[in-house]
Chains A and B, each alone.
Chain A
């Protein structure tokens, strides 16, 4: 059984689903990332503008407050009307008190000279009054304007400050003096550092010389820090901002700490300060980052989900297919016993059921085929064993017996009977039978004859099957009851030469299959019997005299030689006698040769009957017979031969011519084996001499 992991379908399914899911996730994430990137950028732009505006507003509010304080002070009753006024200094100090980052407030007269100083650093009473006539803030304010100066530096140019100047009016509305406040820029720095811009954001302020004058992240502002030092991109945008006051600019750059940042900048019109609000890109695009992170997470989940879904799907689709495949493999290997069990409640289940059905049908037809093959094999085997069995013998009866025995053995029959048919006669007395008692087969044969089956077979040459229960015949054979009989014709060249009766203890045993195979055997049997008959006939022709049916001289001499040799080797007794009919020539002449032949025939029968079975009788010449008697002394032979002579003497030979009978006598010469004999011819010669003696001494006698 293949593992589901090795399933190619599962792999394909996994890849396809993974591809589909991941690509959809990727597309969605891409769209989401893009939109969140755009959103992030837009939000950051808006946010940075808001922050920038807030910073600008704060700065302006702060300066506006100082401006208002200054204006308030300058409008105090009677100030400067009567020249320098100690009380006025107090007002100036009040400005510093309320605004700690104002470190000096100075009153400048219309000529540009300081006339009153309130300072946290300079001494007031013993001040060295300075001439500010050439300063831009003085010139602007003396013309009636409120003026905010550019950044200036105190303390060896390390501390930035700026100046707000307002005109001081007399009661008649003319400008009497200019009020100047010097303000530490660190106030702005402080307000910047308190500003919270996102999580990574910060702000800084540049002057028109692109110098950083305030930085949220740095308490100390250094002379060298300029926009160009921070980034070239920023520097070029600062240039643009200087040229276009009041406009917002967005810029992306990498700052001096190697952070990728996104910034908004704006040039404040009145102050010529460039405020820059900066945020790290990682913060702005955190949404995008989150989308990407969630994409990775979702991708991971998708892979897991797809894995489990595919597992589940594979269990539904791939596994059944694997099972079906395995089953098909088993079937192809000839194993029909396995059944597939799939419960998916869909077409696959139907397919599996159909597959099971198909397997069953296949199994059935396979079994049928197998049965047929077995049957055919059995038939062939039967035929083979049958053929080899019947070819073992060349005797008719032996052949028939072998055939019956073989059929019983192979087909597990109860028994058989073979009956030969010759010259219109059923030779039931010489019937061959096996495994059944004689009277039983004879009674069965009677039944068969009685029912006209034998006649039926004779005329049609077809087998006949009889079920005894139907015919109501009850015959038992040993412990078994014979239930069915089949009678087969034995044919040769279209002629019936006999029948074979087969008995079985099974009902309906002789079905068409067996029947046809036995029929085939019977054809073989017909041929074998015909051959045996022919052999027997030929054998008789070569050993026996055709007239007298006694052994011919050639066979006799062979036998004599064998017996002679035996006597020689074992010193046994052997007698040989020669018999001659007295006056046979006269009989021939009187009654003709046919009578002579008849006499010879009948004499031969008498000789055969009167001698022992162990004795051998043969025709030696015309009217001469010869009898060999093994294990017999001449004395004993003499007695037997004498008896024979007497029988012949008293026997009336039937003849076809009148008087209808004839008496004859015979002369017999007898010789016994003597050890001195070296050749059989010597024995024959001796017997011949004895016969001659008998003839000469009056005939009808036995001479030794």
Chain B
């Protein structure tokens, strides 16, 4: 019997040694800081990736509304500095910039940053800065292409309106690109500067029927906070609205051309995972998703009596009828 006991003990010890190697690590805390409106798809993609990777019980996901002003971002940075989160995911350029500036010693993975290089977050896509990396949605690069697609869809447009936030670097850059292309496409561009939602609402009040043939949305937390109001006006005056992302179609936008934010969210998590596994952010280049989709709200166009060219409808990834 003595021999059998020994065998059991050895087996148990062996089992314990094996188990101890795979000891369960504590849950890692991921803080997602994002604007309340307009970027839900990033979060959805992020969550989806967590589930796909089977890491839902290994991470603690904390969602923090970023607010829309710089003050909001700084306030959040202070809280983060005194918390024990392992990694921060930021959504949109202003949020990222504010946190990168104010949060110390915590890795940041940004997403939905239209142009990280111009925003000063990276020297180039290959080389990210210390403690920060992320996913760009090429929003700035696609501004010209988006405008072109907008024009192709609604060739009658001669005069369009756009809003930009002078405090958002990306916004300024995008509006610059937009001006260039509009000129080439023989479209008159009305650029409205807005530091807050009220600026937009005031502008919208003054719009009259026939003032503009369309609205071009430059992604920015301030602009998107008034998105519903913009849609209401555009509906009222039959102005097609061009957006950067598919999800706005369901909120009333007419045409979207850009990178799927869900993909952005998914890729953000891929980077988060690598950092949690021990990679340092500066080793990871900034990721560029390649899936660009064109979605057209043809139902709205038909309602308003517009005829979107058949070729475009054919080429669109999705057409809302």
Q: A308–B240 Cα gap in the complex (Å)?
A: 90
* Neighbouring B residues of A124 by C-beta, 8 Å: 148
Contact at A220–B284, with CB atoms within 8 Å?
A: yes
Q: A442–B288 Cα gap in the complex (Å)?
A: 154
Closest Cβ neighbor of A304 among chain B residues = B4
Interface positions of A from 120 to 157, Cβ below 8 Å from B: 120-126, 155-157
* Contact size range, B: 20 to 34
Contact at B270–A220, with CB atoms within 8 Å?
A: yes
Contact at A101–B148, with CB atoms within 8 Å?
A: no
Asked if B292 lies at the interface with its beta carbon under 8 angstroms from chain A, I say: yes
Contact at B314–A97, with CB atoms within 8 Å?
A: yes
* Neighbouring B residues of A159 by C-beta, 8 Å: 288, 290
Closest Cβ neighbor of B49 among chain A residues = A219
* Neighbouring B residues of A661 by C-beta, 8 Å: none
Interface positions of A from 143 to 175, Cβ below 8 Å from B: 155-159
Contact at B290–A156, with CB atoms within 8 Å?
A: no
Q: Known contacts A122-B145, A219-B267; is A101 also within 8 Å of B290 by CB?
A: yes
Closest Cβ neighbor of B136 among chain A residues = A155
Q: Known contacts A184-B290, A220-B284; is A123 also within 8 Å of B144 by CB?
A: yes
Q: A103–B138 Cα gap in the complex (Å)?
A: 14
Closest Cβ neighbor of A300 among chain B residues = B7
Q: A224–B271 Cα gap in the complex (Å)?
A: 16
Contact at A220–B126, with CB atoms within 8 Å?
A: no
Asked if A93 lies at the interface with its beta carbon under 8 angstroms from chain B, I say: yes
Q: A176–B144 Cα gap in the complex (Å)?
A: 31
Closest Cβ neighbor of B287 among chain A residues = A220
* Neighbouring A residues of B141 by C-beta, 8 Å: 121
Contact at B185–A125, with CB atoms within 8 Å?
A: yes
Contact at A222–B288, with CB atoms within 8 Å?
A: no
Closest Cβ neighbor of A222 among chain B residues = B285
Asked if A223 lies at the interface with its beta carbon under 8 angstroms from chain B, I say: yes
- Distance in Å: Cβ of A127 to nearest Cβ of chain B: 10
Interface positions of B from 40 to 79, Cβ below 8 Å from A: none
Contact at A123–B148, with CB atoms within 8 Å?
A: yes
Asked if B320 lies at the interface with its beta carbon under 8 angstroms from chain A, I say: no
* Neighbouring B residues of A119 by C-beta, 8 Å: 145
* Neighbouring A residues of B145 by C-beta, 8 Å: 119-123
Which of B126, B138, B144, B184 is close to A157, meaning CB atoms less than 8 Å apart?
B126
Contact at A220–B125, with CB atoms within 8 Å?
A: no
Which of B181, B274, B314 is close to A123, meaning CB atoms less than 8 Å apart?
B181
Q: A121–B139 Cα gap in the complex (Å)?
A: 11
Q: Write the A197-241 contact mask toward B (1 if CB under 8 angstroms, else 0).
A: 000000000000000000000011011100000000000000000
- Distance in Å: Cβ of A211 to nearest Cβ of chain B: 13
Closest Cβ neighbor of A125 among chain B residues = B148
Q: A124–B181 Cα gap in the complex (Å)?
A: 11
Asked if A78 lies at the interface with its beta carbon under 8 angstroms from chain B, I say: no
Contact at B311–A220, with CB atoms within 8 Å?
A: no
Q: A300–B291 Cα gap in the complex (Å)?
A: 59
Asked if A186 lies at the interface with its beta carbon under 8 angstroms from chain B, I say: yes
Asked if B190 lies at the interface with its beta carbon under 8 angstroms from chain A, I say: no
- Distance in Å: Cβ of B31 to nearest Cβ of chain A: 22
* Neighbouring B residues of A156 by C-beta, 8 Å: 117, 124-126
Q: Write the B287-321 contact mask toward A (1 if CB under 8 angstroms, else 0).
A: 11011100000000000000000010011000000
Contact at A97–B125, with CB atoms within 8 Å?
A: no
- Distance in Å: Cβ of B297 to nearest Cβ of chain A: 19
Interface positions of A from 68 to 104, Cβ below 8 Å from B: 90, 93-94, 96-97, 100-101, 103
Contact at A120–B185, with CB atoms within 8 Å?
A: no
* Neighbouring A residues of B147 by C-beta, 8 Å: 123
- Distance in Å: Cβ of B305 to nearest Cβ of chain A: 25
* Neighbouring B residues of A101 by C-beta, 8 Å: 290
Contact at B144–A155, with CB atoms within 8 Å?
A: no
Q: A101–B290 Cα gap in the complex (Å)?
A: 8
* Neighbouring B residues of A121 by C-beta, 8 Å: 138, 141-142, 145, 292
Interface positions of B from 63 to 112, Cβ below 8 Å from A: none
Asked if B286 lies at the interface with its beta carbon under 8 angstroms from chain A, I say: yes
Contact at B315–A100, with CB atoms within 8 Å?
A: no
- Distance in Å: Cβ of B85 to nearest Cβ of chain A: 23
* Neighbouring A residues of B184 by C-beta, 8 Å: 125-126
Contact at A93–B315, with CB atoms within 8 Å?
A: yes
Closest Cβ neighbor of A100 among chain B residues = B291
Contact at B126–A158, with CB atoms within 8 Å?
A: yes
* Neighbouring A residues of B270 by C-beta, 8 Å: 219-220
Q: Write the A414-450 contact mask toward B (1 if CB under 8 angstroms, else 0).
A: 0000000000000000000000000000000000000
Closest Cβ neighbor of A97 among chain B residues = B315
Contact at A222–B290, with CB atoms within 8 Å?
A: no
* Neighbouring B residues of A300 by C-beta, 8 Å: 7
Contact at B267–A220, with CB atoms within 8 Å?
A: yes
* Neighbouring A residues of B274 by C-beta, 8 Å: 220
* Neighbouring B residues of A120 by C-beta, 8 Å: 145, 292
Which of A90, A94, A158 is close to B288, meaning CB atoms less than 8 Å apart?
A158
Q: A491–B208 Cα gap in the complex (Å)?
A: 180
Name which of A96, A156, A157, A224 has the most chain B CB atoms within 10 A of its CB.
A156
* Neighbouring A residues of B314 by C-beta, 8 Å: 90, 94, 97
Q: Known contacts A156-B124, A186-B290; is A126 also within 8 Å of B185 by CB?
A: yes
Name which of A96, A120, A122, A124 has the most chain B CB atoms within 10 A of its CB.
A120
Closest Cβ neighbor of A89 among chain B residues = B311
Q: A219–B284 Cα gap in the complex (Å)?
A: 12
* Neighbouring A residues of B7 by C-beta, 8 Å: 300
Q: A224–B282 Cα gap in the complex (Å)?
A: 12
Q: Write the A358-392 contact mask toward B (1 if CB under 8 angstroms, else 0).
A: 00000000000000000000000000000000000
Contact at A158–B286, with CB atoms within 8 Å?
A: yes
- Distance in Å: Cβ of B32 to nearest Cβ of chain A: 19
Closest Cβ neighbor of A101 among chain B residues = B290
A-B contact pairs, 5 of them (CB 8 A): A119-B145, A126-B148, A220-B270, A220-B284, A223-B126
- Point out residues on A near B: beta carbons under 8 Å: 90, 93-94, 96-97, 100-101, 103, 119-126, 155-159, 184, 186, 219-220, 222-224, 300
Given contact pairs A93-B315, A220-B287, a sample of 4 additional A-B residue pairs in the complex whose CB atoms are under 8 Å apart:
A156-B117, A158-B287, A158-B288, A222-B284
